[in-house]
Amino acid sequence: MRGRLGITVRGTVQGVGFRPYVYRLARRHGLGGWVRNSTGPVEIEVEGEEEALDRFLADLEERPPPLARIEEVRSRRLPPTGTTTFVILDSRPRPGDFQSVSPDAATCSDCLAEILDPRNHRYRYPFTNCTNCGPRFTVIESLPYDRPLTTMRRFTMCERCRREYEDPQDRRFHAQPNACPDCGPHLSMLIEEAVTALRRGRIVAVKGLGGYQLACDAGNEEAVARLRRRKHRPRKPLAVMMLEPERYCSVAAEEWQALRSPAAPIVLLRYRGGLAPSIAPGLRELGVMLPYTPLHHLLVRDFGGPLVMTSGNLSEEPICREDAEAQQRLGGIADLFLGHDRPIAARYDDSVVRWAAGALRVIRRARGLAPEPLPFCASPPLVATGAHLKSAFTVARDGRAFVGPHVGDLDDLLTVQAFEEQLERYLHLFSVRPERIACDLHPDYTSTRIAERLGEPVRVQHHHAHVASVAAEHSLRPPLVGVALDGVGLGPDGTIWGGEVLVLEERGFRRVAHLEPVPLPGGDVCAREGWRMAAAYGLESPPEGVDPRRWHLVRQLAGSGRSPLSSSLGRLFDAVASLCGVAQVSTYEGEAAALLEAACEDEGDVIKVELEENRRLFSEMAARQRRGEPAGRLAATFHASLARAIVRACQRTGLRTVALSGGCFQNRRLLEATVDGLREAGLEPYANERVPANDGGISLGQAWVAAWQ
Ligand code: ZN
Ligand code: ZN
Ligand code: FE
């Protein structure tokens, strides 16, 4: 019996070699028909024996190509027409529809073998790619994903590349960025020159996939110190690209898997040492990535050791995308520019992940991860603009949420422009006409003003959004307990929140427990000068390294009743880090807390306090410190006591499901102790995985709240 099926496939099926795969599959099963891309699903018609049609459908769903993610396959019967040949048709627009395109993918093993093989036509060619790897979102200007709509359109394929592109048996069949040394992009200088400069301790700006990066010898302290000075980044850890992470770090199986995944993110690994001391000062973790483009492979291999590979920007500005922009903004930092003539369509920083509490957790969602869609609840098309720090937006439609890439803190014009540029791009690429807008409750955030320009926004309280981001990720249904612990977010009562236990309801939330608010003497500056919080918490004499005169002024200010109040856990971390002598000032967000976590030495002790008794917890710690308890033990005790207090606060609600979010849960020790404690108490904890627990994940929660309205 002959039959014909019309099939539509949704999911990440563009830019992953899906059409050639369907072509080969249809031929293998002896089927006729066609396949084509659209701006919506991939469309297929196949005709042949019924049995063959069944096997074709089963293979399609069960054995897709490596980068594809199938979300939905629909088929319907059609009258047979007698076709026996199978063809790939031209793409077809479907106005208003949308598709997911694969994020950029790390160089595959086949392509790597080619660039390392002296007899291969692509030997040492830095732009080698195929349907299983290479640039995607960073070259796409518009959809459907076809070469004329990418930044590769200016390169005309040579005879040889075209033959590969048109040969269904070839790995490069319909590989849109296909290129070779005869026809593709070229570097602005020899890799050898860059390597020589790196060996001499110079700083080289490298044009990567989603923007410029700054590279230097990770083993050369002088070079690393110079990079820090020029980049105005005194202490924030620097990521390192290397071939053999196991030489410097302990790497668990799950971490290897993350390192070698097509997303090839920076993975925070337990660092054993061996590189320049100022790579990650005071921390026990190192951000490591493997080379993920042919250019990186050649650079790291020729150099023969680990290279610092950090975003090409001045601290907190967006990563540089255009050549002229890079020359201008990075001119004072880099000694040399290793550029090329393939334009970058969109800025994408490197993503950062960490394995903690039994799951891989995203800390910065960008290259290789965005814009992979997350399953989302039913909602009208919507946009959420996030908060202020680590900004990222979410656009959602048809049960999917696209969380945009990390852009940076919305403090300066450049970052705001980059944010708006990306938002416009996502709205266009996914044909989203937002009917609902969501933003933070804070009236002065730039993200709030951007939302107001788009319509009348739903204003979502910061910690409500944090907790909702976990509900969205894990498809949890309210009511549930939410624990939101971070540095700062505006509460509906006008005070600054940040140590909150909420009950998340279908519409809205109830605040059921929180840290007792303490004054922030000097306001926002407390996040940088953590010792001020030790004063606010009542520490009597100034910690070492703090000017006694300023200390006494701040103590007076804290007691004057003129300082804003905050229930922030981040600020309690600052106070304790100051008390322990671990950090008096922070040069990047969360530095004091990160150093306090790294300082923990044993299991610590448990001080039995409730979450609201943060003042008592601090004074008990101060008493122990006076008795000479070492900082490493104090730090551990602090984490253990806090985890216990959180578990107790959750238990009091009588609910079982707990969502943990907020930047403080990036702290592995706190997260793991809390999760363990909750499980022991018979509760069911969930935490962020695919979006950051920090403010980079907050737009997903805002979107969820707006969807439930
Ligand atoms: Zn490849
Ligand atoms: Zn070519
Ligand atoms: Fe936050």
Give me the pLDDT at residue 623, please.
98
685-697 mean pLDDT: 98
Ligand located closest to 125 CA: 2
Give me the pLDDT at residue 177, please.
96
| 2-88 shares its CATH topology with 513-687 | no
Query: What is the percent of the chain where pLDDT is above 70?
Result: 100
CA of 16 to the centre of ligand 1 (A): 11
Give me the pLDDT at residue 17, please.
86
CA of 695 to the centre of ligand 3 (A): 5
CA of 662 to the centre of ligand 3 (A): 5
Ligand located closest to 178 CA: 2
Q: Is the pLDDT of residue 316 over 80?
A: no
CA of 562 to the centre of ligand 1 (A): 62
Phi, psi values for residue 496, rounded to 5° = -95, 120
CATH 3.30.420.40 fits 513-687, yes or no: yes
CA of 179 to the centre of ligand 2 (A): 5
Query: What is the percent of the chain where pLDDT is above 90?
Result: 89
Q: Is the peptide bond before 519 cis (omega within 30 degrees of 0)?
A: no
- Buried/exposed 188-217: b ≥16 CB within 10 Å, e otherwise: eeebeebbebbeebbbbbbbbbbbbbbbbb
Spatial CA neighbour of 275 closest among 200, 353, 216, 208 = 216
> Which sequence spans correspond to the domains of the chain?
2-88, 191-353, 513-687
382: its two tokens: 């919507």
Fold of 191-353: DHBP synthase (3.90.870)
Please identify which residue in the block is written with the tokens 């770090």.
249
Q: Is the pLDDT of residue 315 over 80?
A: no
Q: Cα(72)–Cα(91) distance, rounded to whole angstroms? A: 20
pTM for this prediction: 0.96
CA of 155 to the centre of ligand 2 (A): 9
Give me the pLDDT at residue 319, please.
84
CA of 682 to the centre of ligand 1 (A): 47
Ligand located closest to 158 CA: 2
CA of 521 to the centre of ligand 3 (A): 20
582-592 mean pLDDT: 96
Q: Is the pLDDT of residue 294 over 90?
A: yes
Do 467 and 510 contact (CB within 8 A), yes or no?
Answer: no
Indicate the CATH number of 2-88 among 3.40.50.150, 3.50.30.10, 3.40.1000.10, 3.30.70.100: 3.30.70.100
CA of 588 to the centre of ligand 3 (A): 15
Ligand located closest to 442 CA: 3
CA of 107 to the centre of ligand 1 (A): 5
172: its two tokens: 């490069």
Cβ neighbors of 369 (< 8 A, separation 6 or more) are 103, 263, 265, 351, 362, 690
CA of 181 to the centre of ligand 2 (A): 6
CA of 132 to the centre of ligand 1 (A): 5
DSSP letters, 527-545, are GT-THHHHHHTT--SPPTT
Give me the pLDDT at residue 321, please.
86
126-149 mean pLDDT: 92
Q: Residue 513 is inside which H or E element, if any?
A: strand 509-514
CA of 696 to the centre of ligand 3 (A): 9
Across 314-470, the runs of DSSP E, i.e. the strands, are 336-338, 352-356, 359-364, 374-375, 382-384, 394-397, 400-403, 436-440, 458-460
How big is the chain, counted in residues? Answer: 709
Give me the pLDDT at residue 597, please.
98
Ligand located closest to 179 CA: 2
CA of 2 to the centre of ligand 1 (A): 37
Please identify which residue in the block is written with the tokens 């600020």.
571
CA of 484 to the centre of ligand 3 (A): 8
Q: Is 141 helix (H, G, I), strand (E, B) or coil?
A: coil
| Cβ count near 142 (within 10 Å) | 14
Ligand located closest to 17 CA: 1
Ligand located closest to 67 CA: 1
550: its two tokens: 């300023």
Phi, psi values for residue 484, rounded to 5° = -120, 110
DSSP letters, 407-440, are -B-TTSHHHHHHHHHHHHHHHHHTT---SEEEEE
- Identify the bridge partners of residue 440 per DSSP, sorted by sequence position: 460
Ligand located closest to 157 CA: 2
CA of 247 to the centre of ligand 3 (A): 35
Ligand located closest to 165 CA: 2
Ligand located closest to 661 CA: 3
Q: Write down the mean pLDDT value for the chain.
A: 95
Q: Is 503 helix (H, G, I), strand (E, B) or coil?
A: strand
Cβ neighbors of 549 (< 8 A, separation 6 or more) are none
Give me the pLDDT at residue 440, please.
98
| Protein residues near ligand 2, an ion, with CB under 5 A | 158, 161, 180, 182-183
Ligand located closest to 466 CA: 3
- Identify the bridge partners of residue 45 per DSSP, sorted by sequence position: 6, 34
Give whole-number Cα distances, 461 to 442, 444, 454, 664, 688, in Å: 8, 14, 19, 18, 18
| Cβ count near 243 (within 10 Å) | 13
CA of 544 to the centre of ligand 3 (A): 30
115: its two tokens: 């660039």
